[in-house]
Structure 1
């Protein structure tokens, strides 16, 4: 099938000889190798050691057009266990990777819409399953499309392989009881990354995201509010480390504290987890993926507005 766009910008920047990422030397990120730029992706479209994974909030975008060679991660289908309201187990994760022709040595690069909202969510989830060769394309679909780079509707086919999955490492995840237990912990910071209106309880819990229902509005007592998209530039890329540190420190979200991020179902919170843990190097950051959909529906749990 014909490509939707064929223009690829020829940008020449210095590349790291070891990792191949195009990143500003002045970014100041703690782990700059978790990001790759669009230039790098364009040069690795035919690299068999790299697998592009598109993870969108709007799951039909992939069919509209995607980066050549990219597979589609449907967050509503591929990684959710709807019976247990949890993520897929170790065996099903291995089956997913086998289906995409991914081995334990394959470099995975996530990208998507909404400023890489679900791309970072996927990065967090795949981190739990122990796949270490994972990166996010800085700027996501927004930047790729703005640069009029190649998109296609052709769905790639990869030969099935054998992937050895690990049991989930949930040290980067936090559950409801731990959140309750930590409400009076002075060394913990709860970070609500939803909009200011959601945080203040000024929006109906289902006003914006009908699939994320909660009976009550507001926020968890003591939580600070830094909306997830505060970390993003207009072009969809991440702000510099200096800017990010300033944004979070204004709400006393500092690396000496344990930080627990949450939103409505944990996806936006995973984006902020990525910023804090990977770009800024905060040593103790966990994502409460039960988030407000769980907290706002449980009788007896305190709420602030």
Structure 2
């Protein structure tokens, strides 16, 4: 008789769970990835701010309704002699206040590059201990795939109060000085650029010299996504298999870099948020900064071609 009662209870609980509707922004705090079907439920939620992280000209052609536009230059510190460096805490606070974002809001960010651009914003905010940020899996391509509507209107923004906590530890950040001290130790350094950049065959605009940081190994950031298709993340098992081939333990210290810390921010997200690696740092200045200083060591395999 007991087994019949248990079956009835399971059925009742199952159907009860089907009727639960999530309405609070705080419920988004489970996980750092959100899909388009879930996003649709939160578009009108006042405590959710949607950020379109693409170039302004692309944003103006059409964006997800209600989205605010940001681009790389908005979250950079322009005081350096080279580009791409992370904006200061004060810059981010001022920017977000002008965008009408509150400290308690949940931010959902999307792009058109497989979350590569979005991950840079995630990385900057995570270093300043702001954690209520989600990345839209597949970006605007995934939105258009479900025939989601696009808008060309720019939202009217009302300034708010946005404050980052004073207590931040730069969890996923490393400077060139600390990276230099790590050379020759048991730290794993991963170059997430293309093979041609890694070998020194290709020099991208903004860098002074071609090559790689000595001792680094190569793994293209785009291996984690369906780059030529949906731009969505590959399955957990597929991604884990990619990184398992590097024979790195999840407790090992890992330093990532690319050209300007954007692609490597994506790999930082994948390793720390999805796969559970515990000690992952992204080199902010990456190759743009490292190549700027003639006294910093490099390795190079090829005659270099320059690419703008």
Q: Shorter-chain TM-score: which interval?
A: 0.7 to 0.9
Superposed CA offset, 1:23-78 (max 9, x none): xxxxxxxx96101110111221111010001112x4421111111111011211x2
Name the structure 2 match of 1:26.
Answer: none
Name the structure 2 match of 1:40.
Answer: 38
Name the structure 1 match of 2:201.
Answer: 202
Name the structure 2 match of 1:150.
Answer: 149
**SS in structure 2 at match of 1:87:** coil
Task: Give the RMSD, CA atoms, in angstroms.
Answer: 2.2
Maintained 8 Å contact 2:106/2:132: yes
Relative to 1, partners in 2 of residues 1:299 and 1:140: Cα closer, same or farther, differing over 3 Å?
Answer: same
TM-score by length of 1: 0.84
Q: Where does structure 1 differ by over 4 angstroms across 4 or more consecutive aligned residues?
A: 13-21
Maintained 8 Å contact 1:20/1:40: no
Name the structure 2 match of 1:173.
Answer: 173
CA distance in 2, matches of 1:132, 1:236: 24
**SS in structure 1 at match of 2:115:** helix
Pick aligned residue for 2:208 from 215, 227, 236: 215
Maintained 8 Å contact 1:269/1:289: no
CA distance in 1, matches of 2:19, 2:69: 30
Post-superposition offset of 1:87: 3.0
Superposed CA offset, 1:195-222 (max 9, x none): 111111111x12xxx3xx2222111111
Name the structure 2 match of 1:162.
Answer: 161
**SS in structure 2 at match of 1:164:** coil
Question: Is it true that 1:248 corresponds to 2:243 in the alignment?
Answer: yes
Name the structure 2 match of 1:83.
Answer: 79
Name the structure 1 match of 2:69.
Answer: 72
Superposed CA offset, 1:240-299 (max 9, x none): 221111111212343131111100010111000000010111000010011111112211
Relative to 1, partners in 2 of residues 1:176 and 1:278: Cα closer, same or farther, differing over 3 Å?
Answer: same
CA distance in 1, matches of 2:148, 2:89: 36
Maintained 8 Å contact 2:75/2:121: no
Name the structure 2 match of 1:118.
Answer: 117
Runs of 5+ consecutive residues of structure 2 not aligned to the other structure: 1-17, 301-308
Between structure 1 and structure 2, the one with the greater Rg is 2
More helix as a share of residues: 2
Query: Size of the alignment, in residue pairs?
Result: 275
CA distance in 2, matches of 1:146, 1:253: 36
Question: Is it true that 1:265 corresponds to 2:260 in the alignment?
Answer: yes
Name the structure 2 match of 1:192.
Answer: 191
Structure-to-structure mapping, 1:280-299, within 5 angstroms: 280-299=275-294
Pick aligned residue for 2:49 from 51, 63, 76: 51
CA distance in 1, matches of 2:145, 2:88: 37
Maintained 8 Å contact 1:225/1:251: no
Runs of 5+ consecutive residues of structure 1 not aligned to the other structure: 1-12, 22-30
